[in-house]
Each structure stands twice: as structure tokens, then as C-alpha cells.
């Protein structure tokens, strides 16, 4: 049974946020990822070409949740994330960077009740840092 997917191909949402020290330490605490490239400024200043700490790649990807939630709330149909395909972290995101997520619906499959959206995360310089394809599943009563 086909499910009416409440988004259209080409529909786009954006979300911007400045990544803070609090965001990085909070994400580290939630995930348990206390890798020194995220939490050890001294180490990164001496042993990294970046010269400073970087945010978790997944932190930048997780910001796309704000946009997918907005798509989901457009109707009374419940939806869940089926996951992210082709995730790539192209450039580092640093503490203090302002990132903008551009979330664009690329395809809709009414038979499966899914939408496929391109996720692009840019820093304040316009550099593409993170990319992925996000799949949302819209649930019907028989799902």
C-alpha cells in the first residue's frame, strides 16, 4: 500500500549553528568518543596538520536531524530514519566554525513510503565539509 510522503523532490531546508566547545564535549560525553583529536588541544597543536582540535564528523552530520524533523512534522504520518548512505567527511569542522546544513529531497518512493535527501554541510567559508544521503521512512498503520 502506497503512503503519501509529505515532501516533494527539490524541497529544501537549511539549518545553521556555530559549533562550540560545549557541543564537542557534550557529543564526546554522549558517545564516549574522547579521541584526542576532539578533546586534546595540546596534542593537536603539536601533532596534527590542523593545529587544533576538530569536531566529531558525526556531530556535523547529526545537525541534519533538525531539517529531517521539519520534513517529518509536515504531516500526521510518523516517520523514522532508516539511516545515511554515502557519508563522507571532506573537511574538518573546527570549534568556532559556523556550519550550515543544506537538506534537499532528491527522490520520493511512495510505494515504499520513503524520501531520499541529499545532506550537505558547509562551513562559514562555503567549503563543503560533510555529505550524505538520508533515508526517511514514513509509517502507515500496516507498517
In a domain, 2, yes or no: no
pLDDT tens-place string over residues 127-143 = 999 999 999 998 875 55
Mean pLDDT value of segment 41-54 = 96
Other beta carbons within 10 Å of 76 = 6
In a domain, 1, yes or no: no
- Residue 102, pLDDT > 90, answer yes
CA distance 124 to 54: 15
In a domain, 46, yes or no: no
In a domain, 40, yes or no: no
Mean pLDDT value of segment 10-30 = 97
pLDDT tens-place string over residues 57-100 = 999 999 999 998 887 777 778 889 999 999 999 999 999 999 99
pTM for this entry? 0.92
Q: Which residue has the higher pLDDT, 3 or 110?
A: 110
Return the CA Rg of the chain.
17
CA distance 78 to 80: 7
pLDDT at residue number 22: 97
Distance of CA 127 to the CA centre of its chain: 16
Q: Which residues contact 128 (CB under 8 A, 6 or more apart)?
A: 90, 91, 120, 121, 122
Mean pLDDT value of segment 43-68 = 95
SS3 33: coil
**Cell numbers given for 132:** 550524505
* Number of domains forming the structure of the chain: 1
Domain that holds residue 124: 12-19+56-139
In a domain, 51, yes or no: no
- Residue 48, pLDDT > 60, answer yes
In a domain, 33, yes or no: no
In a domain, 129, yes or no: yes
Q: What is the CATH number of the domain that holds 86?
A: 3.10.129.10
SS3 44: helix
Average pLDDT score, the chain? 93
pLDDT at residue number 1: 62
Mean pLDDT value of segment 11-26 = 97
CA distance 125 to 143: 43
- Residue 11, pLDDT > 70, answer yes
Name the phi and psi angles at 142, rounded to 5.
-95, 5
pLDDT at residue number 81: 94
Amino acid at each position: 500500500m502506497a503512503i503519501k510522503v509529505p515532501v516533494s523532490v527539490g524541497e529544501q531546508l537549511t539549518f545553521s549553528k556555530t559549533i562550540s566547545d560545549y557541543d564537542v564535549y557534550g557529543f564526546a560525553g554522549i558517545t564516549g568518543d574522547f579521541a584526542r583529536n576532539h578533546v586534546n588541544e595540546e596534542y593537536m597543536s603539536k601533532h596534527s596538520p590542523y593545529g587544533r582540535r576538530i569536531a566529531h564528523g558525526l556531530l556535523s552530520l547529526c545537525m541534519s536531524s533538525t531539517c529531517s524533523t521539519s520534513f517529518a512534522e509536515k504531516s500526521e504520518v510518523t516517520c523514522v530514519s532508516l539511516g545515511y548512505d554515502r557519508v563522507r567527511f571532506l573537511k574538518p569542522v573546527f570549534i568556532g566554525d559556523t556550519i550550515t546544513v543544506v537538506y534537499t529531497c532528491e527522490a520520493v518512493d511512495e510505494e515504499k513510503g520513503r524520501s531520499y535527501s541529499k545532506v550537505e554541510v558547509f562551513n562559514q567559508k562555503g567549503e563543503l565539509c560533510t555529505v550524505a544521503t538520508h533515508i526517511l521512512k514514513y509509517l502507515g498503520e500496516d507498517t
